[in-house]
Homo-oligomer: A and B are copies of this chain.
Amino acid sequence: MKMAHSKRLRRMAKSGPAPTINDVARVAGVSKKTVSRVINRSPLLKQATREKVEKVIAELGYTPNPQARALALRRNFLLGLLHDNPNAQTVLNFQEGVLDAIRDTEFALVVRPVDRHSPAMLDDIRNFLEQQRLYGVLILPPISENDELAALCREMGCGYVRMGSAALDEAEQLVQSNDREMVEGVVDYLVEIGHTRIGLIEGPQGFRSAFERREGFLTAMTRHGLEMPDDALVQGNYRFSSGVEAANRLLDQNPHVTAIFASNDEMAAGAYHAARERGVDIPRDLSIVGFDDSPIAAHIWPPMTTVGWPIREMGKAAALKLVAPDTAEAKPSCFPARLVTRNSVAPPSKKI
């Protein structure tokens, strides 16, 4: 009720200049400093004064000017999101997570897609950070694996948290997932239902995530005493088309594989495509497992078994590590991925 009332008052003011702390102070008959204390929940205020001021604040519909606050405090309330992730859903989920963390705070999230391939990338980001003076930045993979970028943040005194698949950094600056173990789990699962000739479409050179996933894969294969011929391991670049090519190469070189693990869903979808063109049925003739649980995995036919990360939770935790590093929710830095079982996996067919 009171709320609605104040809104009405504010609206009736007909969008004149927004009330400032001075207006509040004058109307309430106190000094601006006292109003400031109310806003900042200073404990050394008499209850009566606090209430008096709060009433005026509500009546006037006063909101502190964030720019003025930022100036006085010499820090602002802007979080940055640096990303060059090809998977839109991942980026958006992460954004949602960040928003979960900063909703009802004065923080806001500013986004900055970056171009990993531009030689000027670091300078661009430097300018961006210099200009905007962000409170901190969140860095999504794959660019989160760029150590120069992290160094740049440190150098510029800008807080940062990276999302990455391995121990890139200290726990305070990292949210990670256990994808290596998960990939091992995928192999275990495939072996368990009978597969022995499993192909791997790995991600591009130089990506930590690609490396981790390959290592997890190979570790598990070795553990199971399974052979891993060189030509059952092909490389892609995390994109759909590279998945098509990689799967074709893999199946040409190694027609007996009964299952393929691809380092991300896009490439796995590419493998679907290649399989379909060759007339091989999924999952009867070929099982495919992807990684990321992006929307395509659910939409493709047959729905794809894949590994999902709790991206949104990771986004939330990442943001909390910056804005409230001492809360429990900000502490964990490793978030368990889980196998999302759908219909792209079946025991190997008898033939061959």
Contact = CB atoms under 8 A, between A and B. Distances in A.
Contact of A88 (B295, B299, B300): B295
Contacts of A11: 155
A106 interface: yes
B132 A113 contact: no
Interface string A46-74: 00000000000000010101111011000
Contacts of A67: 67, 70-71, 76, 133
Given A66-B131, A78-B110, A110-B78, A269 B71 contact: no
A108 B110 contact: yes
Contacts of A242: none
B131 A111 contact: no
Nearest to A132: B108
Contact of A156 (B15, B112, B133, B269): B15
A133 B269 contact: no
Interface stretch (A92-100, A204-212, A226-234): A92-100
Nearest to A7: B126
Interface string A1-33: 000000100010001001000000000000000
A240 B301 contact: no
Interface in A104-123: 106, 108-113
22 contacts: A15-B155, A61-B130, A63-B131, A66-B131, A67-B70, A67-B76, A78-B110, A88-B92, A88-B295, A92-B92, A92-B113, A95-B111, A95-B113, A99-B111, A106-B131, A110-B111, A111-B111, A240-B298, A273-B301, A299-B299, A299-B300, A300-B301
Nearest to A67: B70
A276 interface: yes
Contacts of A110: 78, 108-111
Contacts of A273: 299, 301
A67 B108 CA distance: 14
A89 interface: yes
A157 interface: yes
A154 to B, nearest CB: 9
Contact of A299 (B7, B76, B132, B296): B296
A132 B108 CA distance: 8
